[in-house]
Structure 1
Amino acid sequence: MESRTSAARALIDGLDGATMLAQTQRWAAINSGTRNLDGLARMADVLADAFGALPGECRLVEPAPVEAITAAGQVETIAHGRHLHLRVRPEAPAQLLFTGHMDTVYATDHPFQQVTERADGTVNGPGVSDMKGGLAVMLAALQAVETTPFAARLGYEVVINSDEETGSLASAGLLVAAARGKLAGLTYEPALPDGTLAGARGGTGNFSIVVRGRSAHAGRNPEDGRNALVAAADLALRLAAATGDGLSVNPARIDGGGPNNVVPDLAVLRVNFRPRDAAAIARADAAIATAIETVRAAHDVHIARHGSFNRPPKPMTGASETLFSQVVAAGRDLGLTVGWRATGGVCDGNTIAATGVPVVDTMGVRGGAIHSPDEFLIVDSLVERAALSVLTIGRLVTGDDA
């Protein structure tokens, strides 16, 4: 990687790729699937030690309470791990937000547990790209920033949550509070293997719809029953038909049913919505309401809706385009061509953008095959992306090439 300015060259020389790689490997060796509370507790302590080396106040924050619907149609509280929160120089004139997540999608008993270095310059392992490597990049960038002349002018908050992979329901409030008053946000989800960043993102909503009917003998008096499973299937078809015009609907699962000779009296439909914009959310809300009322009347069942659109769409605004241009300019100083494109995925960048703060949410490593046993990180991107972050931060703080 050829630098175009002396500042960039000095920066790259000062970043320790071997240390970042070793850190990523150690962190990826800790299983911290979202539901693995013991692993998350261990990961939180490790991260608190690492980020505690930065100035400011570093603490672990208890998760907000979260409710979920069981397969039996009951409301239960879901436990989550603690979140890391760091605040540095809150009185400084330029305030930024840095976010990431410590959880992965790999459960305690998932067979993908090992980190392997490959001859092609990549590392394969659980969370190496999404986002243990991104956390190493964030930390190295902030440590480098603390050695620069502009550090005194920069204040920032860091939020590393324990539940991003399941929707950040226990940390959304912390993210929103940390975003207030910030000039910009940088989130360390992985970039694509070629370095392309995510631009506009759609939103997401997850719902559990509980259908209660009436049981009866399937042979002796089926007419006295109200089949909740059939009603839930009807509901799934009606909701799926709402797909189109910026809205994707995915009925994903129906819990319920029982013995073949019993009319089932309970079913729980799980459905995911992906709205492109606010108008699509309004259409989805209307579709849900209409489908529920129609199915309730047609099947003589009781239906209760649970869930929300927990991550709003993240459009490209004038402010976000200005922020992206700063990242592009920082990349140019490093000899990199930085581009971006829209994506259907969601992340905490959606939540940050909804507060009105512009955010680039793929400042992490270059890598790919995330959420699979083929997940990989490109080792050379550790130093590259840390350098990109520091130069971007410098531009945001100083308003020049820093």
Structure 2
Amino acid sequence: MGTYSKANMLDLLEKLVNIDSGSYDKEGIDRVGSFLYEQYKALGFSAVIHEQSTYGNHMTITHQEARDPTILLLCHLDTVFPTGTAAKRPFSIKGNRAYGPGVVDMKASHVSLLSAVSALAANHDSALQNIAILLTSDEEIGAPSGRKIIEAEAKGKKAVLVMEPARKDGSLVTARRGGGTYVMKVNGKAAHAGIEPENGRSAIEELAHKIVALHGLSDQKAGTNVNVGLIKGGTSVNTIADYAEASIDIRISKLEQAAVLEKKIQSICKTPTVEGTAIELIGGITRPPMERNEQTVDLFNVIQKEAQALDLTLTETATGGGSDASFTSALGVATIDGMGPVGGNPHSEEEYVEIDSLQERSLLLERTLVRLSK
């Protein structure tokens, strides 16, 4: 099996972190994608570029000798951070942790994957011919352009390994909640709050009724949650609000919950409580849940055995956050998420990766690819 240079891995990680690649920064995403492809190209890989006009380009990378790969490695190039963040808060190391925008979600994962592939190439391992790598550009915003490509690449594969970071305790992810977003728009009638309040129809009052009803749909035991996370409305404190708006986040644990929950939400928003107001509801489920099923458990067991051979204790967990793993799992393809290095606090200024886990998880990935290719 391959050996991994910590210095080289950190050097690559620093280069990647210091390139801004927020989901709406097409130029930055394409820079990261092109940089990574040059590394893979040197290892004998070629790429199909899925050109995008609004978002960054997606890229399918396979070895030049590959014919029908059965393993898909799924990674995303985008981060949640706006352009300019890398200059303000560049890559840094404190103790055994590395910091910077996107350092664990998921630029360290790119380092881990590239290192594992480099080790396979150094060993002239035939597993190289059995993998397809898909780099997508819009995972952090729900994969509006990437979903169809992900689903097309996953069809016919026997395993999908998603390179999201491992959890803080090193666990892999075998289940994720699905979810989606709605926007509720309420129109009322403006009036002076002191002179003629009776002539107004408050959109904010109507919105308040709906927020309470929507939050009442959450069922923690069933694994469903409805949360109104953003609201806005009104023009001044002494005016009956003629418009109000709410952004709604929904989470589900099982696919069959989607239609039931959507029907309840639509029912709540169908009839106004405040006479004279009108409601418009747009949105829906954007990601199916990643359910823990037999295929996923079997795949986890394979990876766990490879971890044991490395004297690693590997556990599995479920998480409420979404990822592109949901799309491949919903197709019935065995999917494991969290195959990247260990870290924490993603999407924040305190985001970090455990430096020692770069080598550890790269070796585990390499061994897993070899095992799955036999």
Q: Please confirm whether the aligned pair reaches a TM-score higher than 0.5, indicating the same fold.
A: yes
Name the CA distance, whole Å, in 2 between partners of 1:43 and 1:94.
24
Q: Which runs of structure 2 are paired with 1:2-401 in the superposition (5 Å)?
A: 11-13=1-3, 15-63=4-52, 79-88=54-63, 92=67, 94-110=69-85, 113-119=89-95, 121-148=96-123, 150-151=125-126, 154-244=129-219, 245-294=222-271, 296=272, 298-398=274-374
How far has the Cα of 1:130 moved from its partner? 1.0
Post-superposition Cα deviations, 1:114-153, rounded to whole Å, max 9, x if no partner, equal: 211122x221222111110001111121232334465268
1:298–1:89 Cα change, 3 Å: farther
**8 Å CA contact retained: 2:117, 2:128:** no
Looking at structure 2, the residues matched to 85 and 267 of structure 1 have their Cα atoms a distance apart, in angstroms, of 43
Match of 1:98, SS state, is strand
Alignment CA distance shift 1:152-1:319 (3 Å): closer
Cα gap change, 1:152/1:270 in structure 2, threshold over 3 Å: closer, same or farther?
closer
Residue equivalent to 1:72 = none
SS in structure 1 opposite 2:226?
Answer: strand
- In structure 1, distance between residues paired with 2:240 and 2:348: 39
Q: How much does 1:319 deviate?
A: 0.6
The 1:108/1:94 distance shift into structure 2, 3 A limit, reads closer
How much does 1:240 deviate? 0.5
What is the letter of the counterpart of residue 40 of structure 1? I
1:194 aligns to what SS in structure 2?
Answer: coil
Amino acid at match of 1:27: L
* Inter-CA distance 374–297: structure 2 relative to 1 (3 Å threshold): closer
Secondary structure of the residue that 1:219 maps to in structure 2? coil
- Distance 1:299-1:24 versus aligned 2 partners, 3 A rule: farther
Percent identity between matched residues is 30
Aligned partners of 1:135 and 1:286: how far apart in 2?
40
Q: 2-side partners of 1:12 and 1:42: how far apart?
A: 28
TM-score by length of 2: 0.92
Q: Which amino acid aligns with 1:341?
A: T
Describe the SS at the equivalent of 2:192: coil
The one-character-per-residue Cα deviations of 1:335-360 (angstroms, maximum 9, x if unpaired) are 11111111112111111111111111
**Conserved 8 A contact 1:193-1:378:** no
Q: Secondary structure at the match of 2:24?
A: coil
Q: Deviations over 1:176-197 (max 9, x none)?
A: 1111111111111111233211
Residues 307/193 of structure 1: CA separation in 2 closer, same or farther (3 Å cut): same
SS in 1 for 2:250: strand
**Counterparts of 2:49 and 2:68 in 1: how far apart (Å)?**
26
* TM-aligned CA distance change 1:243 to 1:90, over 3 Å: farther
Gaps spanning 5+ residues in structure 1: where?
1-10, 65-78
8 Å contact kept, 1:229–1:267: yes
Residues 12 and 383, structure 1, Cα contact 8 Å, conserved in 2: no
Q: Answer yes or no: is the 8 Å Cα contact 1:129–1:368 preserved in 2.
A: yes
CA 1:152–1:343 in structure 2 vs 1: closer, same or farther (change >3 Å)? Answer: closer
2:29 partner letter:
L
Q: Which runs of 5+ in 2 are unaligned?
A: none
